[in-house]
């Protein structure tokens, strides 16, 4: 998998001055566009679109300093429709405008080329199972919140506090203990931005999996049938939950014949009495890759 990702990285370098189609990069990596974006973001620590933007502005910066092309020619070559748009993007990355950089020989910032390699640590193993589930429903309340990569998400914490104890009790009472899981209160992330960038928005659901009648003040998320990889973890809260997501995409997927597929991601959490530790079960929609 990592070798194929590196082939896609070579394609990016060859096309920095051309239109880059993510679908073509995904084909080079022999995976879906959805999974390619997820894998890249997890491995690189930034969205694919941001990496491409920074690489283009790095190469454009070198051409600005070289002075062999006009600033407008450089802007158009790297995909900007006007000199003003190029200047804004250039200043955002380099801290100086292109004209000033050329005139004064300014120091610019550089986004290095990325490649991926496997680092074998062997310090821990991941507990997981793969299950097939028929279509099911999540019933509860939802809110549109920003994505936070590390630490407590203030918007989610405020949303849950605002539900009140009575509503939380009623939601939990709808849960069905059918043995298929996930059971009890779950946190569901759905309709995420493809980039997975910090600050982009998602639908956060606080609810339960149930087939019970839906109260008038609740909402329903229909989840299609399919396969799920279910991961278990325990440790400090909230770091354990966030590291679990990271480890699934940086360790488990590259080592197993599965890829992620579109769909909600479901987390069941059990907190310790003092709220400092958590037992977690993370459900990720997957599909088996071709041999």
Is residue 119 assigned to a domain? no
Tokens found for residue 53: 């933007």
Q: Are residues 168 and 264 in the same domain?
A: yes
Is residue 58 assigned to a domain? yes
Residue among 139, 271, 282 at smallest CA distance from 208: 139
How does DSSP classify residue 250?
I
Which three-class secondary structure state does DSSP give residue 104? helix
- Give the pLDDT confidence score for residue 225 in this predicted structure: 94
- Give the pLDDT confidence score for residue 125 in this predicted structure: 52
Q: Exposed, middle or buried by CB within 10 Å (0-12, 13-18, 19+), for 123?
A: exposed
Mean pLDDT of the chain: 89
Q: Are residues 209 and 159 in the same domain?
A: yes
The set of residues, in sequence order, having a beta carbon less than 8 Å from that of 23 and lying 6+ positions away, is: 33
Domain around 163: 127-288
- Give the pLDDT confidence score for residue 44 in this predicted structure: 85
Q: Are residues 87 and 203 in the same domain?
A: no
CA distance 286 to 128: 13
Q: Are residues 89 and 132 in the same domain?
A: no
Scanning 117-209, the segments in alpha helix (DSSP H) are 154-173
Q: Consecutive 10-residue runs of the chain (291 residues): their mean pLDDT?
A: 86 95 93 90 87 95 93 95 94 94 87 76 65 94 91 90 94 81 90 84 96 92 95 84 81 85 92 87 91 55
Give the DSSP H/E element, type plus range, for residue 143. Answer: strand 136-146
CA distance 106 to 226: 54
Q: Give the CATH number of the domain where residue 273 resides.
A: 3.20.80.10
Q: Are residues 134 and 64 in the same domain?
A: no
- Give the pLDDT confidence score for residue 88 in this predicted structure: 95
SS (H, E, C) 37-103: HHHHHHHHCCCHHHHHHHHHHHHHHHHHHHCCCCHHHHHHHCCCCCHHHHHHHHHHHHCCCHHHHHH
Count how many domains the chain has. Answer: 2
DSSP 230-241: EEEEEEETTHHH
Q: Give the CATH number of the domain where residue 67 resides.
A: 1.10.10.60
- Give the pLDDT confidence score for residue 77 in this predicted structure: 96
Q: Are residues 232 and 277 in the same domain?
A: yes
Contact 231, 286 (CB under 8 A): no
Q: Are residues 99 and 135 in the same domain?
A: no
How does DSSP classify residue 174?
T
CA distance 211 to 152: 31
- Give the pLDDT confidence score for residue 177 in this predicted structure: 67
pLDDT tens string 89-117: 999 999 999 999 998 878 899 999 988 77
pLDDT tens string 112-163: 998 877 554 444 456 889 999 999 999 999 999 999 877 778 999 999 999 9
Contact 44, 114 (CB under 8 A): yes
Q: Are residues 160 and 236 in the same domain?
A: yes
Q: Which of 43, 70, 104 is the last residue of a domain?
A: 104
Q: Are residues 246 and 151 in the same domain?
A: yes
Is residue 116 assigned to a domain? no
Rg (CA), the chain: 23
- Give the pLDDT confidence score for residue 122 in this predicted structure: 40
**Cα-Cα-Cα-Cα dihedral sign, residues 112, 252, 137, 135:** positive
- Give the pLDDT confidence score for residue 247 in this predicted structure: 84
Between the two ends of the chain, the Cα-to-Cα distance in Å is: 12
Name residue 226's beta-bridge partners.
133
């Amino acid at each position: 998998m990592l070798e194929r990702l590196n082939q896609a990285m070579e394609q990016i370098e060859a096309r920095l001055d051309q239109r880059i189609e993510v679908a073509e990069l995904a084909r080079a990596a022999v995976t879906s566009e959805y999974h390619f974006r997820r894998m890249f973001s997890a491995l690189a620590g930034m969205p694919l679109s941001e990496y491409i933007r920074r690489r283009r502005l790095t190469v454009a910066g070198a051409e600005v300093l070289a002075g062999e092309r006009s600033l407008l020619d450089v802007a158009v070559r790297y995909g900007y429709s006007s000199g003003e748009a190029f200047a804004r993007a250039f200043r955002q990355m380099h801290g100086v405008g292109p004209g000033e950089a050329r005139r004064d020989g300014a120091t610019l910032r550089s986004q290095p080329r990325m490649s991926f390699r496997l680092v074998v640590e062997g310090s821990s193993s991941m507990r997981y199972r793969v299950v097939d589930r028929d279509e099911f429903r999540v019933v509860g309340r939802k809110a549109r919140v920003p994505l936070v990569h590390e630490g407590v998400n203030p918007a989610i914490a405020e949303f849950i506090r605002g539900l009140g104890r009575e509503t939380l009790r009623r939601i939990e009472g709808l849960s069905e203990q059918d043995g298929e899981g996930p059971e009890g209160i779950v946190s569901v992330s759905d309709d995420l931005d493809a980039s997975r960038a910090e600050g982009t928005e998602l639908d956060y659901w606080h609810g339960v999996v149930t087939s019970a009648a839906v109260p008038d003040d609740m909402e329903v998320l229909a989840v299609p049938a399919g396969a799920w990889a279910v991961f278990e973890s325990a440790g400090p809260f909230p770091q354990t939950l966030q590291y679990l997501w990271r480890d699934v995409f940086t360790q488990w997927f590259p080592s197993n014949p599965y890829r992620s597929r579109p769909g909600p991601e479901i987390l069941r959490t059990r907190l310790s009495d003092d709220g400092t530790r958590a037992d977690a079960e993370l459900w990720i929609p997957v599909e088996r890759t071709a041999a």
